[in-house]
Amino acid sequence: MGGTLTAGLLGAAAGQPVRKGSRERSPSAGDIVPFHGVHQSGITQLPRVPQQQGVFVAYDVTAETRDQLTDLFRILTARARFLTSGGPARPASGSSGSGLLGTTLVPDGLTVTVAVGSSLFDDRFGLAGRKPVELVPMTAFAHDDLNPAECHGDLLLQLCANHSDALVNVLIDLHTRTTGLMRQRWRIDGFRSPQRPSGTPRDLLGFHDDVANHFLTDVKGRIDNFVWVHSPSPEPAWTTGGTYQVVRIVRFDLEKWNRVPVEQQQRIIGRHKVTGVPLNGGHDENSPVVYDPAGEVMPFSCHVRLANPQTTDSRFAAPNPYVPDKVPPVHIWRRSYQYMRAPDVDGRMDAGHAFCCFQRELRTYIEMQRRLENEMLVPYITPTGGGYFFALPGVKDDHDSYARTLLT
C-alpha cells in the first residue's frame, strides 16, 4: 500500500519527530534544505514541513562513454546544488530560460535525490563489477499488472518542493542541460495532503498512512541501522551512505473501495479510519500495534498486520496462517505521495499511490511485499509500474559530485 510520509515528521534542526499538537511553520519559498552531506537530502533530511509536491522521473542514459556519464553526473550535481540554494537565474547557453520563477530562483524547500537502476551496470560503462549486491530489476508480484513503459530505468530523480512551479522549473532546467545524455523513460507526479484534522496526512483511501516511520525516529540510531548502508557490509565500498530505494505506482479502485462500509475498511487496514489508532487499542496513531492472539479484532490478513508482523516482543503470540512465527519487525523509511491522472480509455479513475520507501537491504521490502500478496486490500489496489534503485551517497562538499566514488 504505502503512504504519504510519517507520523514522526522530522524537525528541521534536531531531526526529532514533531509530536501531535506541536506547531509547524507553513512552507515558504525561502525554505532551504542543505544540499551537502554524508547522505542525500530528500530521504530522511526534510524541511520543517515535508514538501507537499513530488515528482519521480526515471531516465534512460543516452551518454555513450564513461566520460560522458561522468559529465552527466557533474551537471546534475551542479544544477541540484544551485537550484536547492536559489539565486539569480542564469539560463543555459542557447536558451532564454523558462522565467517561471522570475529572475531569482527561490529554493522552495527543493530536494533532488538521485538513484541508479541495475541497468546502468550493464557493459556500456564498465560498471558491472561495482553493482550493489541486491540491486535487481523489479519483477511482478502475484497481483501486479505492470506496464513495461512505466518500469525500471538507468537513473531515477526524486524531486520534492513546497510548490509545483519549482518542480516544473527543475524539470525544464535539467532537460535543457542534459540533452543527449539522458532521456525520460517514465514519470509520476504526486501530492501530499494536509493533516486533517491532525496526525499523519491521509492517503486516497482516507486512512492515516506511513505511521511506521515514527518507530524509526523515536529511538536514536534506528535510522542509521535500518536505512543507510555502512560497514561492515557485503556491499561495494562506494555505496556507504546510500540506500536502496523502491518506487511503486499503485492504482486504487476508489469506486469499489468507497462502496465498502467503514467498519470493513477498518478491518482491511487494521486501524480506525478517523483517528488512525490500531483496532486493538491505544491512545493515538503512534500506539504500538499489539496483536490479539486469535485475530478477532485485527485480522491476520489486514494490511498493517502483514506489513509489519510484530508484537511487543517482536513476534507473533500465536501461529499465523499467513506469516511464519518469529518474524522480526520491518523497518523501512516511507517517502510516498498520492497521484491522480486523467481517466483511462474506459473512463475509469486513475488515482492512487506513488509509493516510495528506502531501506538498507532491498530484501526487507521484497519480503514484506510477498507477505502482502495475501492481504485483504488486494481487490482494491493494482501496482502498475515503478522499479528498484540505489540512492547514491550524499555530495559531501563543493568538490564532490554524485556518483564520484562509483566512477573513480
Counting Cα atoms < 13 Å in the Cβ hemisphere of 327 gives 23
Task: Indicate whether 226 pLDDT > 80.
Answer: yes
Q: Which three cell numbers stand for residue 153?
A: 530505468
pLDDT tens string 135-194: 999 999 999 999 999 999 999 999 999 999 999 999 999 999 999 999 999 999 999 988
Q: Which residue range is the domain that position 69 belongs to?
A: 34-407
Residue (of 192, 198, 208, 193) closest to 20 by Cα position:
198
Beta pairing, strands 111-116 & 17-18? unpaired
Could you tell me if residue 63 is inside a domain? Answer: yes
Confidence class for position 313, pLDDT limits 50, 70, 90: very low
Residue (of 190, 242, 188, 226) closest to 385 by Cα position:
188
CA pair distance 24, 26, nearest whole angstrom: 6
Angle of helix 164-177 relative to helix 66-83, nearest 10 degrees, comes to: 150
Tell me how long the chain is: 408
Task: Indicate whether 127 pLDDT > 90.
Answer: yes
Confidence class for position 89, pLDDT limits 50, 70, 90: confident
| Mean pLDDT along residues 368-389 | 96
* CA angle centred on 190, ends 71 and 347, rounded to 5°: 120
Task: Indicate whether 19 pLDDT > 60.
Answer: no
pLDDT for position 305 = 85
Task: Indicate whether 310 pLDDT > 60.
Answer: no
Cβ-Cβ contacts under 8 Å for 22 (sequence gap 6 or more):
none
Confidence class for position 400, pLDDT limits 50, 70, 90: very high
Could you tell me if residue 9 is inside a domain? Answer: no
| Mean pLDDT along residues 38-66 | 92
pLDDT for position 364 = 93
High-pLDDT (> 70) share of the chain, %: 84
| Mean pLDDT along residues 287-305 | 78
High-pLDDT (> 90) share of the chain, %: 64
| Mean pLDDT along residues 106-122 | 97
Residue pointed to by grid coordinates 523558462: 98
Could you tell me if residue 23 is inside a domain? Answer: no
CA pair distance 355, 328, nearest whole angstrom: 23
- Report how many domains make up the chain: 1
What are the beta bridge partners of residue 114?
157
Could you tell me if residue 177 is inside a domain? Answer: yes
Task: Indicate whether 15 pLDDT > 60.
Answer: no
| Mean pLDDT along residues 319-343 | 75
pLDDT for position 1 = 53
Helices (runs of H) and strands (runs of E) counted in the chain: 9, 13
Could you tell me if residue 163 is inside a domain? Answer: yes
E strand segments, 34-79: 53-61
Confidence class for position 97, pLDDT limits 50, 70, 90: confident
Cβ-Cβ contacts under 8 Å for 369 (sequence gap 6 or more):
141
| Mean pLDDT along residues 290-306 | 80
Could you tell me if residue 13 is inside a domain? Answer: no
pLDDT for position 321 = 53
Residue (of 135, 147, 142, 137) closest to 187 by Cα position:
147
Fill in the DSSP letter of residue 68.
H
Residue (of 21, 379, 349) closest to 198 by Cα position:
21
Residue (of 226, 321, 245) closest to 2 by Cα position:
245
pLDDT for position 173 = 94
Could you tell me if residue 27 is inside a domain? Answer: no
Amino acid sitting at position 385 = G
Could you tell me if residue 108 is inside a domain? Answer: yes
pLDDT tens string 204-214: 999 987 776 76
